[in-house]
Structure 1
Amino acid sequence: MYSGVFLIFLPLIIGYLIALKNEQWLDRINKTVSQLIYVILFLMGLSLSALDNLSANLQTIGLYTLTFFLAIGTCNLASLPFIDKWMPVEACSNSKTMPIHLMALESAKLILVVGAGLLLGLLMPFQVPYISSASESILLLLLFFIGIQLRNSGLTLKQILLNKHGMIIALVVVLTSWCGGLIAAYLLDIPLTNALAMSSGFGWYSLAGILMGDAYGPVYGGASFFLELLRELVALIAIPLFIRRYPCSSIGYAGATSLDFTLPVIQSTGGVRCVPIAIVSGFILSLLVPVFMLFFISLGQ
C-alpha cells in the first residue's frame, strides 16, 4: 500500500537533501519547474477530455470545488482572526500597491493551459496514449526540483522556530482546512481520506491538482486544482482590503502562496513587518502539502 506513495515521495526527499549555492542553477530549476507545471496541466486537460460522460464529470468537478472552497474557507476564517486578537501584528501600508490584475494573469494562463488540453483532446479523433504514465514520470521529476527549491529557499530551522506568528498561522490553517475537508466529505458523501488529502493543498494549486489527479484520477485532480486556484484568486482580492486590520488572517488565507505568489501583495499592502511571517507560514505549508497529501492518499489505498 505504501510502496507506490513512497516512490512518489522519494524524489522530494532526495531533492531536499541537495543544497545549491549557484544562483544560475537555481534560476534554471525555477524555470524548469514552471515549464513542467504547464506540461502536466496540459496533460490533465487531455485526461479530462477522455472521460466518459464529460459534462456530468465537469459538473462533479464544479460541485467538489465549490463545496470544499466554502467549507475550508469558512473554517479558516472562523479561526484565523483569533490570532490577530491574541497576537496582534501592526501592519503598515506602503505607497505602492501591486496591480491585482497583473498578479491574476499568471493564474489565467494556467486555466488556459488546462482548457487547451481539454479542447485539443475533444477535437482529436483518437485518444492520446500513455498520458497517465507520462504525467507520473514528469511528476517525479517535478517533485525532485520542488525539493531542491524548498531546501534552497533561504530559511533555516532556527528562523522558522523563532517566528511564532508564522508557525501558529500555519498550524491553524492546517487544522481548520482538515475540519473543512471533513465537512465537505459529509456533504458530498466521499471517503474521509480523499477529503483530507484534497483539503491538504493549502493553496498550492499546481502540485495539489497534480498529486490528486495522479492518485484519484482527473475529476479529483481538476477539482483540487480549481479549488486551490480559486483560493489564490480570492486571496489576491482580499489581502489589500483586510491586511491592515487582520494581517494574520490575510496571510493565513493566502496559504502556501504567501511564500511566493501573494508575497508581493502582502509586502506592498501590509508592509515589511508582515513579510517574515508570510515567508515562514508559506514555507511550512508548502513543505506540508506533499507530506500530508501523500500520507492521506496512502491511507486510502
Structure 2
Amino acid sequence: MYSGVFLIFLPLIIGYFIVLKNEHWLNRINQAVSQLIYVILFLMGLSLSALDNLSTNLQTIALYTATFFFSISLCNLASLPLIDKLMPVEASSKTKALPTYLMALESAKLILVVGAGLCVGLSLPFKLPYVDGASGSILLLLLFLIGIQLRNSGLTLKQILLNKHGMIIALVVILTSWCGGLIAAYILNIPFTNALSMASGFGWYSLSGILMGDAYGPIYGGASFFLELLRELVALMAIPLFIRRYPCSSIGYAGATSLDFTLPIIQSTGGVKCVPIAIVSGFILSLLVPIFILFFVSLG
C-alpha cells in the first residue's frame, strides 16, 4: 500500500544526483517537463472513461461529490491563507509573469487535455489496456527530470526533505478537511465515521476511491474518486493563477498531489522555492491517506 508513496522519492533522488552544466540540456529538460504534463493529463482522461459501475446511483454519487467538495474546499481555503500571512513564502519563476487572463487560458488548456482524453476513451469501442501503467511510468520519468531541476537549482537535500512550511500546511489540510467532512455528514445525514473516511483522501483519487469502494460500496467509492479528482482538476486551474500571491494556499489545496501530479506545475509557476514545501506536504498527506481512511472505517 505504501510502496507507491515511497517509490515517488526514488526518481527524485536519482535525478538530484545528476549535475548538468550544459544550458542547452537544462532547457531541453524544462521543455520535456512541460510536455509530459499534457501527456499525463490526457492519460488521466482515458482512465476516467474506463471507470465502471457509475450509471447506477449516479445522482447520489454527484450529490455526495458536490457536498463534500464544497464543504472541504471552503474549510481548506478559510484557513490556508493564514499560513501565507503568518509564514510568507516568496514564490517566483524564471518565466515572465503572464496577464491573468492568459494564465487562466493556460490553466483551461490543462482541463481541455483531460477532456480530450475522456472523449477519446468514450468514443473507442474497446478499452485501452495499460493506460494506468503508462501514466505511472511517465510520471516517474517526470519526477526524475524534476530531480535534475532541483539539483541544478542549488537546493540542498536538507531543504528538500525537511521543511516546516510543508509540515504545517499538511497539518492544516488534514484538520480542515475533517471539519469539512463533518459538515458534509450533517448535510447528507450520513455517519460521521463514513464522512471522516471520505474526507481523508486529500486528493489521492485512485487509492481513496478503491478503499472507500471496498469499505462502503460503489456510491462512496465513486463519490470519493470524483471528489479527489475534482480537487486535483481545480488545483490544476488555480495554481498558475494564485501561487505567486498565495503559495502556501495553492500548495495546500493541491493536497497529496503536490508530491506528484501538480508538482511540475507548482515548480514551473511558483519557482523552485515552492518545490521542497510541496514535496514535504504532499508526502505527509500521501502517507496518511490509507492510515486515516482505514482507521475511520474500523470505527464505523
1:207-226 mapped onto 2 (5 Å cutoff): 207-226=207-226
CA 290–42 in structure 1, closer or farther in 2 if over 3 Å, else same: farther
Aligned mates of 1:184, 1:210 — CA distance in 2:
20
Provide, for residues 221-264 of structure 1, a one-character-per-residue CA deviation record: whole Å limited to 9, x for no partner: 11111111111111111111111111100100011111111112
Aligned mates of 2:171, 2:93 — CA distance in 1:
26
Per the alignment, residue 284 of structure 1 pairs with: 284
Provide, for residues 160-203 of structure 1, a one-character-per-residue CA deviation record: whole Å limited to 9, x for no partner: 77300000000000000000000000000001111001000111
Q: Which amino acid aligns with 1:61?
A: I
Is the counterpart of residue 190 in structure 1 residue 190 in structure 2? Answer: yes
Per the alignment, residue 26 of structure 1 pairs with: none
Per the alignment, residue 54 of structure 2 pairs with: 48
- Structure 1 stretches lacking a partner, 5+ long: 1-10, 24-33, 121-141
CA 87–233 in structure 1, closer or farther in 2 if over 3 Å, else same: same
Is the counterpart of residue 201 in structure 1 residue 185 in structure 2? Answer: no
Per the alignment, residue 28 of structure 1 pairs with: none
What secondary structure sits across from 1:93 in the alignment? Answer: coil
Counterpart contact for 1:91–1:274, Cα < 8 Å: yes
Q: Which amino acid aligns with 1:280?
A: V
Provide, for residues 70-106 of structure 1, a one-character-per-residue CA deviation record: whole Å limited to 9, x for no partner: 1000000000001001100011133178943554367
- Between the two proteins, the alignment pairs up a number of residues equal to 247
CA 281–190 in structure 1, closer or farther in 2 if over 3 Å, else same: same
Is the counterpart of residue 165 in structure 1 residue 172 in structure 2? Answer: no
- Give the TM-score, by structure 2 length: 0.68
Provide, for residues 41-88 of structure 1, a one-character-per-residue CA deviation record: whole Å limited to 9, x for no partner: 77751x335xxxx3xx11111110110011000000000001001100
1:80-159 mapped onto 2 (5 Å cutoff): 80-95=80-95, 99-101=106-108, 103-104=110-111, 107-108=114-115
Q: How far did 1:108 drift?
A: 4.0
Aligned mates of 2:107, 2:74 — CA distance in 1:
23
What secondary structure sits across from 2:84 in the alignment? Answer: helix
CA 283–42 in structure 1, closer or farther in 2 if over 3 Å, else same: same
Aligned mates of 1:40, 1:216 — CA distance in 2:
22
Q: How far did 1:217 drift?
A: 1.1
What secondary structure sits across from 2:68 in the alignment? Answer: helix
What secondary structure sits across from 2:54 in the alignment? Answer: helix
Q: How far did 1:215 drift?
A: 1.2
Q: How far did 1:299 drift?
A: 1.4
- Give the TM-score, by structure 1 length: 0.68
Counterpart contact for 2:204–2:228, Cα < 8 Å: yes
Q: How far did 1:279 drift?
A: 1.0
Aligned mates of 1:212, 1:113 — CA distance in 2:
28
Counterpart contact for 1:107–1:229, Cα < 8 Å: no
The CA RMSD over aligned residues, in Å, is: 3.9
